[in-house]
Amino acid sequence: MSAPSPHPRPEKGPRAAEAIFDATLRLLAERGYAGLTIEAVAQEAGVNKTTIYRWWPSKAALLRAALLRARVLDIDVPDTGSLRGDLVALAEQVTALVTGVRTRAVVRALASGTGLADDELAALARDFFADRFAREQPVFARAAARGELPPGADPKLLLDLIAGAVWVRAVLRNEPVPPGFAATVVDAVLPGTG
């Protein structure tokens, strides 16, 4: 219920946290959730199993932390001076996420949800998107302050349309995303532009 901060993610964790999160996401992409084990993560990250268990008592807790805190999934909240510019920057980040060599297989494995119980997958998705949406709030707060956000505009719907078009083109259609696609998509959904 508190106001979203620009850095809402807790920073607690072992010093090797980033290596642990990287190993978690890489193993998830390679083996699916069923094949992901704390033992394999420890080995890949070069840490002791007990180090992981000290911070994250279960595989689900570890994956949740990796989703919220791994640098490879991070977003860089843009501040370009206009809503259009910020949304284009966010669309470009989504494109990089779903097409990038290190992240492409991770997002596909997460989206498929294979090996996760329905309620585990729903909880992970809820936490992941709530966290991202909280971090993106400044984009819409600044747009509202500049008078750029039409009354009744729905930021969540805008983001779903933009991320969705990138997702369909890059992941489902499996086509190259053409240069300028981020701007084309934003102009198609932002009233008064394009």
121 binds a copy of itself (CB under 8 A): yes
**According to CB under 8 A, which residues from 165 to 194 bind a copy of itself?**
165-169, 171-175, 184-185, 188-189
- Shortest distance in whole angstroms from residue 12 CB to a copy of itself: 27
113 binds a copy of itself (CB under 8 A): yes
Please give the Cα distance from 131 to 144 (Å, whole number): 21
Q: Which helix (H) or strand (E) holds 42?
A: helix 38-45
- Shortest distance in whole angstroms from residue 11 CB to a copy of itself: 26
- Shortest distance in whole angstroms from residue 17 CB to a copy of itself: 25
117 binds a copy of itself (CB under 8 A): no
Distances in Å between the alpha carbon of 182 and those of 138, 168, 170? 20, 13, 12
Interface segment toward a copy of itself; rule CB under 8 A; list 40-48, 57-65, 83-91, 113-121: 113-121
Dump the DSSP string for 67-121.
Answer: HHH-GGG-------SSHHHHHHHHHHHHHHHHH-TTTHHHHHHHHH-TTS-HHHH
Q: Which of 163, 179, 180, 183 binds a copy of itself (CB under 8 A)?
A: 163
- Shortest distance in whole angstroms from residue 1 CB to a copy of itself: 20
108 binds a copy of itself (CB under 8 A): yes
Tokens of 6: 């620009």
Please give the Cα distance from 70 to 53 (Å, whole number): 18
State the CB neighbour count (10 A cutoff) for residue 24.
Answer: 26
Task: Tell me whether residue 45 or residue 132 sits nearer to a copy of itself (CB atom).
Answer: 132
Q: Which helix (H) or strand (E) holds 136?
A: helix 118-145
Q: In the complex, which residues of this chain contact a copy of itself (CB under 8 A)?
A: 32, 108-109, 111-114, 121-122, 125-126, 129, 154, 157-161, 163-169, 171-175, 184-185, 188-189
